[in-house]
Chains A and B, each alone.
Chain A
Amino acid sequence: MNGQYASLLIAIPLLSAFFVPLIKGLGKRAIKSYVLMITAIQTGIAAWVFKEVYSTGKPIIVIAGGWKPPVGINLYIGYFAALFILIVAVVSFLMAVFNFKAVTIEPIDKYAMLFLLLMLGATGMIATGDIFNLFVFMEITAITAYALTAYNKTGEAAEASLKYMILGGIGSSFFLIGVALIYGATGTLNMAQIAQLAGHINPTVAQVGLALIIFGLAVEAELFPLNAWAPDAYQAAPHPVTAMFSAFVVKAGLYAMARVLYLMSSVGTWHNVLKLLVVMATLTVVVAEFSALRQRNVKRMIAYSSISQVGLIALAFALGTQAGVDAGVFQMVNHAIIKVLLFLGVGYVAVQLGGADIENFRGLGRKMPATAFGITIGAMAAVGVPLFNIFWSKLRIILATLQVGYTWAAFLVLAASVVEAVYYFRLVHAIWFEGEGERVGESVPLVIIMIALAILVIAIGIYPNYAWSISQKAGADIFNVAQYIKNVPLMGVGA
């Protein structure tokens, strides 16, 4: 098949989201099944793209409208994008299963549309090869996320959504100013061409533009001064949406940040921006872990833990070395798996027992043993116990940090991990050794999903080489800008 058919990754979710108003009379179950079907199709296409990219070793360049870049817009589906599009699709599929249990608030048809478009936005952000197109997809993701955060229509949900919106609005304005500066300096919007020209432009303009773009993306990527929205939104959003936020929305922001950062790596003032990012990322880790320590609501606690691990990924990307980027990608994959597992488990408990407060988790081992098992595996993995997957990626990130010479950052991250261990083991203790309870029925499909994810966690933990080799390829895709420029068939306008 022709590589251009990869544009179906964008077309199918759009088409099906636009189709939802026509079938809204069929009832809730029908709409949820429809979403499940579409996400399954998306997973199929994503799997095909993944296989194609990894077997041929060549990226798929989708050229929209037949205009060669930089005249037209292109999608660049390389190793990284293929991997993450697959993760986005699979997570959406799993959460579409979870939708049957977790979402009961009307209007379901609108929820279905927003759900599909959130998937679309993240896919587009990861795949695009044009900096303004990145902005458009970022806005698609962000506006869907605002709507889904407020979807429960409680006061808390609206409050969280408003916080997110205000930060996101400032961020997107700054991003656009950055794009304007870079456009003014280079005369192009295509990422590959910007990378080509980056060495020749005025370093002040490049520095200001890059800093503005990073600032704008930091809202999506939940870095320290701009992540005030994140715990609130995670807590207030519907449970499947929370898992999606943690598994791929934030990843899309991080990836976009890393991509733009490394595109500009030939700019003279690049290292100043890197230093700033290292400080921001380390602060994110530390602040989030200490905030997590005093949470009573388990969903919020895991949200903070998610933010801290995202900070870890950002730290890895900000090192500016090949080893750091590879480790960051590995951590992204592992983090996506365990956060889906954790948020699925916690969300399911919240649905069954009415709330995610820590009280509901006492005696969970007796009430819902399978879910409790899943949460326990996720918690152990998140802490970084050896033989679970996060252990390897955390180790590699810390080693990469030490290599570059940021000893203080490595030390702070390790200290934060100790804090993380404290609250996760408190949770595990509450689950298995406190309280009493009757058996509550557990849904079979969700238990199967949780067990499968737990097996995946342990499998990567025991045998990390395969996942690590994939991550290395994906990391090289981000880090090796010269290869990126070579892969995009620029038609030689101007330069």
Chain B
Amino acid sequence: MVSILKRGLAIIILLVIGYWLAQGLSGVPFGQDKMLVGQYYLNHVKQQTGAVNAVTAVVVNYRGFDTLGEVTVLFIASTGVGALLWGKNRKRTARTEGSVVLTTGTRLLVPFVILFGAYIFIHGHLTPGGGFPGGATIATAFLLLYMAFTMYEIPYKAFEKTEGIVGMGYVVVGLIGLAIGGYFLFDWIWQTWGWGHNNIGRLFSGGFIPVIYTIIGIKVGTELSGIIDNMLKEEVKE
């Protein structure tokens, strides 16, 4: 009985919150043009950043500072998971080997999945996608390996170092911008050097967007596979 009362109370509270939110939302009509800064981005994105995909330009270039923070958040998560599940002697404890279909399929697919991930993040400024889905795709390849083979382990020490180096790479790109253009995270490849100005819509354009997205892709891939690795290993008592 008590539990039903509690649920009823919770539902009433939630309905009140929902009504309140709906009231707030009714002042923000759906499907109307409410853009202010957004329109500026759409009007100037091609000349100012060289990217065709406006979302990518906003993520990496106009609001690159957010993305730096976001990469940091993921780094914190991977570090934190590593710190919390830390152990001196940790091994995988899976016992069931994957089925024939899974193992054969994995052997066949892993290189292509990684290649596809790389394709997604390199073409981030032209097509939908970018560093985050690309990196997640790469992590999925390692996830497949983990599921198919009981003994498989990623070289996690190398991965950790890669994570660190690539993260430093991002900050260093930003600092080069500070040195060349006078602003942190300044797009020096596009705005100072002017590379790829007559190439808009093809691969070699977009200033430092492909560079940063490659960095993000590698970083996200290694971090997510590091998280998977940490979650799957348990402390073994000899």
Contacts and interface: CB of A to CB of B under 8 A. Distances in A.
Q: Do chains A and B touch in the complex (CB under 8 A)?
A: yes
Interface of A: 2, 4-5, 7, 10-11, 14-15, 17-22, 24, 62-67, 70-73, 106-107, 110-111, 113-114, 117, 120, 124, 130, 132-133, 136-137, 139-140, 143-144, 146-147, 150-151, 153, 177, 181, 184-190, 201-202, 204-205, 207-209, 212, 493-495
Contacts of A153: 84, 86
B191 interface: yes
Interface stretch (B3-11, B56-64, B118-126): B56-64
Nearest to B185: A65
Given A18-B164, A19-B168, A110-B83, A117 B183 contact: no
A11 to B, nearest CB: 6
Nearest to B67: A136
Contact of A114 (B61, B64, B83): B83
Contacts of B76: 113-114, 117, 140, 143-144, 147
A65 B62 contact: yes
A139 B77 CA distance: 11
Given A15-B172, A205-B28, 12 more contacts: A15-B175, A20-B164, A21-B160, A22-B161, A64-B183, A65-B184, A66-B181, A71-B41, A72-B63, A114-B80, A184-B28, A187-B34
A207 B20 CA distance: 11
Contacts of A10: 68, 184
B65 A133 contact: yes
Contacts of A188: 36-37
Contact of A205 (B24, B72, B77, B177): B24
B83 A64 contact: no
B227 to A, nearest CB: 13
Contacts of B182: 2, 4, 66
The number of chain B residues touching the other chain, given as a range, is 35 or more
Dominant secondary structure at the B interface = helix
B178 interface: yes
Contacts, number: 183
Contact of B184 (A7, A113, A190, A201): A7
B193 interface: no
Counting chain B CB atoms within 10 Å of each CB, the highest count among A64, A140, A207 belongs to: A64
A189 B172 CA distance: 27
Nearest to B61: A65
A14 B184 contact: no
Interface of B: 20-21, 23-28, 34-41, 61-66, 68-70, 72-73, 75-77, 79-80, 82-84, 86, 160-161, 163-165, 167-168, 171-172, 174-175, 177-178, 181-187, 191
Contact of A73 (B21, B66, B83): B66
A111 B76 CA distance: 11
A21 B28 contact: no
B163 A21 contact: yes
Contacts of A147: 76, 79-80, 83-84
A350 B37 CA distance: 53
A399 to B, nearest CB: 36
Nearest to A7: B184
A185 B164 CA distance: 40
B211 to A, nearest CB: 14
A62 B184 contact: yes
Contacts of A22: 161, 164-165
